[in-house]
Structure 1
Amino acid sequence: MIIFSTKFYVNKELTMEKFIELAFDWVNGSPHYGFNSICWNGEPLYEIETEKQKLSIVQSIDKKILALRLENRDDENVIWTNDFVYEEGDINNIILVRLARDAADKESYVSRKFNRPRLMKTILKLGYGAMDNDLPISDKPFLIKEDNLEKAEKIISGKTKYLLPVVYVTKKFIDNNTILDTNELAKDLAGTAHVMVEDSTELSSKLKEKTDGINPFNGAVHIYYTDKVGSRFIPDEFENGNSFRAKIVNSLCRRLAQVKVEDKYTWGTIRYQNLLAQYRQNQQQNSELENACEEILKIKENEHAQIVEEMEAELNELRSKVQNYEYAFQNKRREQHGNIVFECDETEFYDGEIKDMIMRLLQNEKSQMDTDPNQVGWRKYHVLKALLESNEIIGKGEELERELKNILSQVDRISSKDKKRLIELGFISRENKHNKLYFHGDDRYMITLGKTPGDSRAAANAASIAINTIVC
């Protein structure tokens, strides 16, 4: 339940940083709170908690409003909530103070007495109170004299508007005095209301004429609220000053506690807006993160495709080498009587390349002898015939020739699919030479790919040259 609420101006000297400093001095220096040390580095939402206390700080999105909440559970199991809201203004800053008291359970004893938060008293005692229209906000009473009587007339007639209520105190005709200690009353109501005191009863008579008799007089006290609905208090004959002062203070505080506070000054609204902004920011960050992940995935997919292509080329080259080694190994195993083994320093690029090359040469030689009746009876002819009949041509060279002729003789530019197939056949593309391919990386056997489309004759000639260079 709200038991105290007020809002007052403070001057620009009380910055947000200074306000926080005073608040921390209050909390850290109080024997009633169990916080060892409070240190806030400016995060939008800050909370620190002990067994019986909790301190929370939250800022508005534009950093113009800061709300501080201190919750404390006393020995009677009553929860006291102190809310301070600081707002930066163009001319003056604003402080809102609210004090709530709630029983934690039905057995809790709730005292009717309460003290205003010490932080509020400290702020005003240090002189940070600003002007409220033409009245200073302070803990001292404002004296009405002959030279400022017009100010009193405007307040009584409702011609002047203030942020705080005005407590107007008059003197008794009998002794030109008041039973109230107006200095203590001003301290009690500092930041809650202005306390104005007439200097003498003569002023009451003059104000009666100026206000058509609606002014208080003869020791009466009138509270002028901002909504122009006031309350008048007349001391009883035997009432002492302290009880009369308490009656005025309690009445004013009960009235202000019932006034609705603007949403922007409530703790819940500020915290909700802050959390909502964080949620929207997180949504935006998540969206940006998703977009970044998609971009990264695309890049990685492209890199992966390139790596796979390079690995496939390397794998094909390794397969070719394995086939060569297997063929050589089989030849070594067949080194028996009647077999012929040749030593050769050239690396075989595909299965049966060198053997098929020799077989083709032998075929050409035998074909020339077939037409001469004399040569068919020579030993040379018989050996050539026996070799050709005992050994088959594997034919990998013919397959390679067909593939190359099909790819290289195209009139249009060679596609990326064709380039990939060339790599599978054993051709290697070197860095910065994308239009040149080397057969198994050997500089002696290079083919050039056209960068622009050419005519069919040029393409066919290029294919022929490449095939004659590489395939026997």
Structure 2
Amino acid sequence: MLIYVNQFEILGHDSFSVALRTIAGWLKTVTKQHFTRDMLLSGEEFSFEKTKVRTFAASELAPAIYSILLSHPDRTVRGRQWITELGIKYEGDITTVSVLLETSDISTLVKDIPSTTRPKLVSFLLKNANLNPKTTVGLRTQKLKNNLDDFKALSFEVERSERNYPLVFVSNCKKDNQPLVDPNRLQEQLVGLAQVVYSEEEIDSWELEGVLTRQYSAWDGAINIIYPSFSRGYCYSRLLLRDTLTDVIQSNENLIQHVLSYITHTTNGYNKKRHFSPTDVRAKRQKDSRVQLKKRFVELSNDSEYQALAEEAFSQLEEQENVIEQLKEKYEYEINEQMLATIEAQEQLDKSKSDYHVLKLRFDDLQGNSSKKGNPILIFGNEKEKFKGEITDLVLDALNEYAKSQQANSRKRQLLNDVLENNSIDGTRERIIEELKQVFNNYNGVTSSMKSSLKAMGLEVVEDGNHNHLRFIDDNRYKVAFAKTPSDKRVGANIIRDIKAAII
């Protein structure tokens, strides 16, 4: 069973030596034996009781690559072997170390499922090596502040098509504003695989959801794993609710390993394609030998007929190698498609299970945070709010105006004022209007920055001839038309006036 695959780039003129010293130190903790540089690069096998270390080398032609395979029995599960494969590629001032951990069971009688764990070698690399910050994700956590700019920046990162790693959004519990898992310890386990995002501040989860949408938000101790889009235009996510995480803790399961398993479930397939195994090293060694042999043959051969036959043989070998490479690419493509299909199916299954829990949490949250007392007088209809407080504030505004039209000291006015005094205005509408004023201040045509700001408010601009139409995203029932190019200085104020009348 494949447990963990990762890859790290070490920088520096001595990066190759650093990699070998680090691997030797790690092997010593496992085997209690000292390994020299020559032993690691020898291509030989070493046995210590039930532990084996096998080395492979392909260094005739650049880039030189090596592989080290460590196998040892599980200490508690009989019939199980743990196998760690290391690939090392040395090129210029960069040394790439590829790490793969898997188990091999002797038969189906081995029932225990192995826990997802990060190899100890990764800790050694973090401590000793200068890892490339451009290619190593998660060298440190990303902190989120409770403001709109940070929410928008996180939304941009979620949707960024170039992102090829998961985001792990860790939220705080409402009761103490603390997460269920230490974000820094979690990031240490996920380095090279995923980026942990968390906040030390109390986050306005409603405002956050307004920017990120519910699919990518997290609140009250939940953890949301947001996978990359894989060029599909949308991102799948896995929301681990507080109740689920609490159950994991109460069952004495390691919560960090639990989260790690969800990450490796999607990253292992992608990273295994980049991993260079002992088989890859042997293949490169054979290819290097063929290239060297062909070079020597051309230099030494004088018999043209014999040379032609040999060249035909070499050509057939190269053609066979190309066919194998094509089959390998097809196999990797099928694995990638299968992985995406698995994520999609799991996403649909999880969505049906979690929607109820999410809505219940939100309902409980509203009940717990509300200062309103008494019994409700109205229920919502079929229309859904475009922003928090849209419907309730509108009803309160209408009641306030109607109350003013009633006779002073009348029963109607007293009843309406009683309702108004016990129901406060949310204020989201006023905040959105102020943001819209900033967006359309000195309006001189729609820019990408304006579109981004409007999107965060749930609005979009649609072009129509010489005019633009502003509307709610995916809802064309309500529109505000305005010119693509302004005709006077008051155009921004006029747009705001029309928005207040027709949309907000």
TM-score by length of 2: 0.49
Q: CA deviation at 1:239?
A: 3.0
Cross-structure match for 1:319: none
Change in Cα spacing, 1:263 to 1:198, as seen in structure 2 (3 Å) is closer
Give the 3 Å change call, closer, same or farther, for CA 164–266 of structure 1 in structure 2. Answer: farther
Q: Given the superposition, is the C-alpha separation of residues 106 and 159 from structure 1 closer, same or farther in structure 2, using an over 3 Å criterion?
A: closer
SS in 1 for 2:188: helix
Q: Rg larger in 1 or in 2?
A: 1
CA offsets, 1:39-90, max 9 Å, x none?
Answer: 42896x6222216302213246653353422231316343322122344678
Alignment of 1:270-349 (within 5 A): 270-282=281-293, 284-285=295-296
CA distance in 2, matches of 1:47, 1:110: 33
Residues 123-202 of structure 1: pairs in structure 2 closer than 5 A: 123-126=125-128, 128-132=130-134, 137-138=138-139, 140-145=140-145, 146=147, 148-156=150-158, 158-159=159-160, 161-202=162-203
**Paired residue secondary structure (1:262):** helix
Q: Quote the offset at 1:199 in angstroms.
A: 2.9
The offset of 1:15, in angstroms, is 1.2
The CA deviation at 1:5 is 1.3
Match of 1:441 in 2: none
Q: 1:118 to 1:213 in 2, by over 3 A?
A: closer
Distance 2:93 2:195 in 1: 20
Pair 1:127–1:286, CA change in 2 (3 A): closer
Which residues of 2 match residues 247-266 of structure 1 at below 5 A?
A: 247-259=258-270, 261-262=272-273, 265-266=276-277
3-state SS of paired residue (1:202): coil
> What is the Cα deviation at residue 183 of structure 1?
2.5
- Residue 22 of structure 1 and its aligned partner are, at CA, apart by 1.1
Distance 2:94 2:144 in 1: 26
The Cα offsets for residues 408-458 of structure 1, whole Å up to 9 and x where unpaired, read as xxxxxxxxxxxxxxxxxxxxxxxxxxxxxxxxxxxxxxxxxxxxxxxxxxx
The residue number in structure 2 matching 1:435 is: none
Q: Choose which of 223, 237, 241 in structure 2 pairs with 1:234.
A: 241
User: Residue 220 of structure 1 contacts residue 233 of structure 1 at CA under 8 Å; is this kept in 2?
Assistant: yes
- Mark the runs of 5 or more structure 2 residues left unpaired by the alignment: 304-504
1:231 shift after superposition? 1.7
Paired position in structure 1 for 2:26: 26
Query: What residue in structure 2 maps to residue 320 of structure 1?
Result: none
CA contact 1:78–1:104 (8 Å) conserved in 2: yes
Alignment check: 8 A CA contact 1:170 1:201 kept = no
**Distance in 1 separating the partners of 2:204 and 2:56:** 49
Aligned residues: 286
The one-letter amino acid paired with 1:118 is K
Cα 1:255/1:274, change in 2 over 3 Å: same
Partner in structure 2 of residue 49 of structure 1: 46
Work out whether 1:211 is the aligned partner of 2:212: yes
Secondary structure, aligned partner of 2:174 = coil
| Matches of 1:13 and 1:122, distance apart in 2 | 19
Q: Secondary structure at the match of 1:265?
A: coil
| Offset at residue 108 of structure 1 (A) | 5.6
The 8 Å contact of residues 60 and 270 in structure 1, kept in 2 or not, is answered as: no
| Distance in 1, Cα, partners of 2:275 & 2:187 | 29
2-side partners of 1:160 and 1:91: how far apart? 30
2:494 is aligned to: none
Is 1:168–1:222's contact at 8 Å kept on the other side of the alignment? yes
The structure-2 alpha-carbon separation of the partners of 1:16 and 1:39, relative to structure 1 and needing over 3 Å to count, comes to closer
Does the CA-based 8 Å contact 1:54-1:72 persist in structure 2?
A: yes
Alignment partners' CA distance in 2, 1:284 and 1:272: 18
Check 1:217–1:79 CA distance in 2 against 1; reply closer, same or farther (3 A cut).
closer
How far apart are residue 180 of structure 1 and its match? 1.5
Q: 1:3 & 1:162 partners in 2: Cα distance?
A: 23
Amino acid at match of 2:55: S
Matched, 1:16 2:13: no
Whole-angstrom distance in 2 between the partners of 1:6 and 1:60: 23
Q: CA deviation at 1:211?
A: 2.8
Work out whether residues 40 and 55 of structure 2, in 8 Å CA contact, stay in contact via their aligned partners in 1: no
Return closer, same or farther for 1:92/1:194 CA change in 2, 3 Å cut-off: farther
Matched residue type, 1:15: S
Could you tell me how far apart the structure 2 residues matched to 1:26 and 1:42 are?
12
Partner of 2:477: none
Q: Residue 157 of structure 2 contacts residue 163 of structure 2 at CA under 8 Å; is this kept in 1? A: no
User: 1:116 corresponds to which letter in structure 2?
Assistant: R
Task: Note closer, same or farther for the CA distance 1:260–1:243 as it changes in structure 2 (3 Å cut).
Answer: closer
Q: 1:172 to 1:93 in 2, by over 3 A?
A: farther
Distance 1:5 1:61 in 2: 27
For 2:129 and 2:22, the matched residues in 1 are separated by 13
Structure 1 residues 67 and 180, CA, compared in 2 at 3 Å: closer, same or farther?
Answer: same
Residue 224 of structure 1 aligns with an amino acid whose one-letter code is I
Q: Indicate the residue corresponding to 2:122 in structure 1.
A: 120
- 1:133-191 CA distances to partner (integer Å, 9 max, x unpaired)? 7x8632x43222247544322223x2263443221111233432221222321222223
Whole-Å separation in 1 of the counterparts to 2:58 and 2:297: 23
**1:46 alignment partner, SS class:** coil
- 1:393-414: CA deviations, max 9, x gaps? xxxxxxxxxxxxxxxxxxxxxx
Q: 1:151 to 1:69 in 2, by over 3 A?
A: farther
Amino acid corresponding to residue 31 of structure 2 in structure 1? Y
1:248-283 deviation digits (Å, cap 9, x = unpaired): 122222332333633673442232022222144245
User: For the residues of structure 1 that align with 2:274 and 2:283, how far apart are their CA atoms?
Assistant: 11
Partner of 1:414: none
* Preserved contact between residue 176 and residue 201 of structure 1 (Cα < 8 Å): yes
Equivalent position SS for 1:153: helix
Give the secondary-structure state (helix, strand or coil) at the position aligned to 2:284: helix
- Residue 38 of structure 2 corresponds to 40
SS at match of 2:196: strand
Identify unmatched segments of 5+ residues in structure 1: 293-472
Conserved in 2, the CA contact under 8 Å of 1:4 and 1:253?
Answer: yes
Amino acid aligned to 2:153? K
Q: Does 1:220 align with 2:214?
A: no
Does the 8 Å contact 1:129/1:137 carry over to 2? no
Report the Cα distance in structure 2 between the residues aligned to 1:56 and 1:41, rounded to whole angstroms.
8
Alignment pair present for 1:7 and 2:11: no
